[in-house]
Each structure stands twice: as structure tokens, then as C-alpha cells.
Amino acid sequence: MDNQQEIVIEKLKELKPDIFEQDSDPCGYLNRIWQFLNDITVNKVYNVDLLSNETELFVNVVKYYILTCIDNTVIFLRDDFKQFRKNLE
């Protein structure tokens, strides 16, 4: 686990302390969202409210994904962080 990932995990724990108790893998939630973002359909619009009950937590993981992926094509569509999509690479 790198330093950035540790920082994000600490932030996620602040937002929802019990999120990691559901998994034996401390990065499980982060990894599941990461894989989802890697696999989403290009140009399909995704609504955060429909994807997660923990919208603040989910949005923070997406932000982290956007900031750390070199070839990232995921973008939020509005300033309220309610919708995002993946553009063509």
C-alpha cells in the first residue's frame, strides 16, 4: 500500500469508520470502486445517488481515482459531484 492510498483510507475511515469492518481486506471498498471505475462503459452517465448509499464516501473515492490515474478519462459532469462518465481514451 502506498502513502497516497493510506491517506485516502484514513479519510474514508473518518467518513465512515465501519466501512472496513465488513471486509477482511482493509482496501476492499477502495478496490471494488476502483475496479468498477476501470470497467465502466464509455460515455454512459452514472448517477452517484443510484450507485451508493454512502455518496460522500463514494465521491471521495472517485475523486481519488481521477487524481491518481495517469490515463484517467473519468470526469464529473457537474459541480455537485452527482454524475460522472468515462470519456474515450
Q: Read off the pLDDT of residues 33-50 as tens digits, 9 standing for 90 and up.
A: 888 998 999 999 999 999
**pLDDT reported for residue 4:** 65
> Which residue in the block uniquely carries the three cell numbers 451508493?
52
- Domain borders along the chain are 3-86
pLDDT in tens, 16-38: 666 656 555 556 777 888 889 98
48-57 long-range CB contacts below 8 Å, 24 or more apart? 48/81, 48/82, 48/83, 48/84, 49/82, 54/15, 54/16, 54/19, 56/15, 57/12, 57/15, 57/16, 57/19, 57/29
Which cell numbers in the block locate residue 27? 482496501
pTM of this structure: 0.73
pLDDT for 86 beyond 90: yes
